[in-house]
């Protein structure tokens, strides 16, 4: 059953409560700004969070319930949204509408699949009977890469004013992140970048200000830097790691296990003596189309930067040598969001430009 169909049970329960805490006219309408979810909506009284579900707020009145819900997407749903697979999205939205009506033992009507503020959405009305009481209602579901938004109201027919339904739905807004905030960077030390798993080097790096670190247990796993949602999504199976369904992208820093820095020759080498040219040949033989292949010295350390296209995606790699630890080299990868864009090249360039000696 589609996830937003779960609303049917709490709404039905709210309508059959023996006692209520608020009635019409007892409180003025309020604007509810849910910063974490990125939404704003007007409700007939201050909503309260569901004690068993932090992703749902509701206002219960004498003859109706008003609900707003936000839930991050699972990997499969995220990929559908990120790829803008309209056929699958339409099927998901229609199935959710039908399941909601079935859960309330009513029927859906007046359904529209027009986008909401550019996002895939569905809005529909409901009617039926609960415990011998006729009800009416309305629901909107919106899919975004950030997550799924649901707003719904249900009430006793004849007692839930249409004006209140209209006001509730007309006031709903999704607040997009501030581009300036997303572009902000912060400086971290080498030990931060590697989650203290490699001895300190006198280097600093720049990463997006809202990225946070997460250590992968095995030393080869390394340290991830990304938003909490992206890291949680990537580590659903921590033994494997899945970077195919990212919204903002992830940096990963770890000890290099198949490429070493050979101080005697001054080359990065894949343990076969072929040096950087051998690495380039391996890259091309594996189907990669080289965009950047650049060896240089940054802040006193040898580095090899590689950017290459593989199929529909792009790989970003930076080898840093002379670490004086195990292979004498470390590797930083950047895994781009599901839809790679010039913004990823720009972020990678800012990351490279942010490497400097510790101040």
pLDDT tens-digit map of 83-128: 889 999 999 999 999 999 998 889 999 999 999 999 999 999 999 9
Q: Are 347 and 332 in contact (CB under 8 A)?
A: no
Ordered structural domains, the chain, with CATH: 3-174 (3.40.1000.10), 179-357 (3.40.1000.10)
Q: 270-300 pLDDT, tens per residue?
A: 999 999 999 999 999 999 999 999 999 999 9
Cα separation, 51 vs 70, in Å, equals 15
Q: Are 314 and 344 in contact (CB under 8 A)?
A: yes
Pairing status of strand 107-112 against strand 121-130? antiparallel
- pLDDT at 244 exceeding the cut of 80: yes
| DSSP letter (8 states) at residue 175 | -
Q: What is the pLDDT of residue 7?
A: 60
**For residue 27, what pLDDT band results from cuts at 50, 70 and 90?**
low
Spatial CA neighbour of 174 closest among 148, 194, 198, 193? 148
Region 288-314 average pLDDT: 95
Q: Both tokens of residue 259?
A: 């490429």
Which pTM value belongs to this model?
A: 0.69
- pLDDT at 324 exceeding the cut of 90: yes
% of the chain beyond a pLDDT of 90: 67
Spatial CA neighbour of 279 closest among 314, 306, 311? 306
- The torsion region of residue 82 among left (phi > 0), alpha (psi -120 to 50) and beta comes to alpha
Average of per-residue pLDDT values in the chain: 88
């Amino acid at each position: 059953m589609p996830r937003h169909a779960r609303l049917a049970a709490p709404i039905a329960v709210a309508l059959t409560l023996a006692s209520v805490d608020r009635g019409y006219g007892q409180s003025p309408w309020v604007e509810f700004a849910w910063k974490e979810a990125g939404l704003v909506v007007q409700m007939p009284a201050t909503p309260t969070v569901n004690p068993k579900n932090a992703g749902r707020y509701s206002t219960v009145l004498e003859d109706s319930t008003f609900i707003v819900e936000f839930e991050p997407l699972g990997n499969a749903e995220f990929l559908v949204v990120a790829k803008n697979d309209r056929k699958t999205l339409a099927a998901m939205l229609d199935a959710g509408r039908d399941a909601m009506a079935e859960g309330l033992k009513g029927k859906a009507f007046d359904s529209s699949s027009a986008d909401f503020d550019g996002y895939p959405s569905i809005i529909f009305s409901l009617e039926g009977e609960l415990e011998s009481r006729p009800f009416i209602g309305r629901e909107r579901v919106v899919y975004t890469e950030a997550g799924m938004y649901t707003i719904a109201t249900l009430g006793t027919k004849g007692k839930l004013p249409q004006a209140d339904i209209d006001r509730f739905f007309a006031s709903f807004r999704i607040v997009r992140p501030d581009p300036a905030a997303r572009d902000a960077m912060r400086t971290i030390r080498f030990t931060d970048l590697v989650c203290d798993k490699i001895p300190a080097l006198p280097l600093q790096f720049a990463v997006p200000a809202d990225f946070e670190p997460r250590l992968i247990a095995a030393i080869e796993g390394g340290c991830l830097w990304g938003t909490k949602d992206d890291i949680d999504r990537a580590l659903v199976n921590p033994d494997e790691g899945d970077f195919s369904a990212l919204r903002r992208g992830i940096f990963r820093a770890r000890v290099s296990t198949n490429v070493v820095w050979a101080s005697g020759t001054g080359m990065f080498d894949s343990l076969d003596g072929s040096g950087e040219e051998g690495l380039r040949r391996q890259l091309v033989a594996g189907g990669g189309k080289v965009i950047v292949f650049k060896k240089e010295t940054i802040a006193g350390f040898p580095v090899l930067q590689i950017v290459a296209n593989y199929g529909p995606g792009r790989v970003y790699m930076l080898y840093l040598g002379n670490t004086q630890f195990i292979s004498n080299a470390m590797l930083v990868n950047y895994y781009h969001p599901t839809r790679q864009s010039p913004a990823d090249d720009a972020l990678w360039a800012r990351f490279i430009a942010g490497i400097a000696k510790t101040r």
